[in-house]
Structure 1
Amino acid sequence: MMEWYNVGRIVNTHGVRGEARILSTTDFEDERFYVGNRLAAFKKDDKKPTWVTIASVRRHKNFILLTFEGMDNMNDIIPFKEGLLKITKDQMEDDVLEENEYYFHEIIGCQVISEDNDSIGEIVDILQTGANDVWVVKGKEKEYYIPYIEDIVKDIQVDNKTIIIHVMEGLL
């Protein structure tokens, strides 16, 4: 079975010439979003991909605007609204992660535990703030926002999906 990894969310169309407004979910934007690259576009709630080839790329505010070969009209993009752009595991193998860098899919789903072994919750999302990533942790009663910084994150064990954090005053 093929393993898929999200690289972007298709949030909307942009203009009438078939541009798709993409919210990036990858740390490797240059390796994902370039003219000629093939991505799998999944319509919302669809399990089968439509392979698309990027025809143009430009930035607009917090979004990346893409056009795809053969789709030069807004109506070609509308069915993909709220869908996802994904790549296969094979397409990821060229990425080079630095030490202490992880893929989103490795972090999402991890259990967060304090140094005192208290369960805090599960990471359900990652917010990119520019300065540092912020992990959204769903606890029993509320959500916590944990910045991915050295002072707080003490140990990441992706193999057993566990992250140990130092709970600073005011964090939780």
Structure 2
Amino acid sequence: MKKEDCFYLGKIVKKYSFKGELLAKLDTDEPDLYDNLDAIFLDLRGNLVPFFIEASQLHKSDLLRLKFEDVDTEADADALIKTELYLPLKLLPKLEGNKFYFHEVIGFVIEDKNYGTVGTLSGINDSTAQSLFEINKNGVEILIPMNDEFIVKVDRDNKTIIVETPEGLIDLYISPS
């Protein structure tokens, strides 16, 4: 399994018991969706390795308590702390309406209600306080905040996101030289 075929689910943060149980912090708004998994991929030195789950249960709402097969001691568990967890993309719940996963909208065309076609979504920058659409328009990068008030419609059928940005925002990037 390749990392690009998977999504990041979370990270193992600490041991739970002396029997090899671990606690994982999940990166999701709906942790209960991942309570009954049979297996999960762990990123071990850049390789995704499947681990089979003997038992799992939610712990304090956003932590998942995991007991893996063949992880039976504290030493076994210690070796897995800070390991990232991944699942295949096909296990992501389907989103509808204007909700979307970042990976699913890369390549969509961004259209502004007032400006017209802005360009193609080349990436999403989520390293800032507010996530940004990174749009390529003929080699020029345009950044638009991913603000719910700006997103009018996500049209999956036509691979288009319609936005309505404040007047002049797009012009900041495409000013005549």
| TM-score of the pair, normalised by structure 2 | 0.59
- Name the counterpart of 1:31: 33
- Change in Cα spacing, 1:99 to 1:142, as seen in structure 2 (3 Å) is closer
- Name the counterpart of 1:22: 25
SS of the equivalent of 2:166 reads: coil
CA contact (8 A) 1:114 1:120 kept: no
Match of 1:137 among 133, 136, 143: 133
1:66 counterpart = 2:65: yes
- Name the counterpart of 1:118: 118
- Change in Cα spacing, 1:79 to 1:157, as seen in structure 2 (3 Å) is same
Match of 1:153 among 151, 158, 165: 151
CA distance in 2, matches of 1:136, 1:75: 40
Larger radius of gyration: 2
- Name the counterpart of 2:50: 50
* Equivalent position amino acid for 2:164 in 1: H
SS of the equivalent of 1:37 reads: coil
- Shift in Å at residue 8 of structure 1? 0.8
| TM-score of the pair, normalised by structure 1 | 0.61
* Equivalent position amino acid for 1:69 in 2: F
CA distance in 1, matches of 2:157, 2:67: 37
- 5+ residue gaps, structure 1, are none
The alignment yields a C-alpha RMSD, in angstroms, of 4.0
- 5+ residue gaps, structure 2, are 171-177
- Shift in Å at residue 14 of structure 1? 1.6
- Shift in Å at residue 146 of structure 1? 1.3
- Shift in Å at residue 114 of structure 1? 2.6
- Change in Cα spacing, 1:113 to 1:68, as seen in structure 2 (3 Å) is farther
SS of the equivalent of 1:81 reads: coil
State, as a whole percentage, how many aligned pairs show the same letter.
19
CA contact (8 A) 2:124 2:133 kept: yes
CA distance in 2, matches of 1:111, 1:84: 31
Residues 44-69 of structure 1 show CA distances to partners (whole Å, capped at 9, x for unaligned) of: 521x4313324232136xx5243233
Match of 1:167 among 156, 159, 165: 165
SS of the equivalent of 1:84 reads: strand
CA distance in 2, matches of 1:114, 1:66: 45
CA distance in 1, matches of 2:104, 2:37: 24
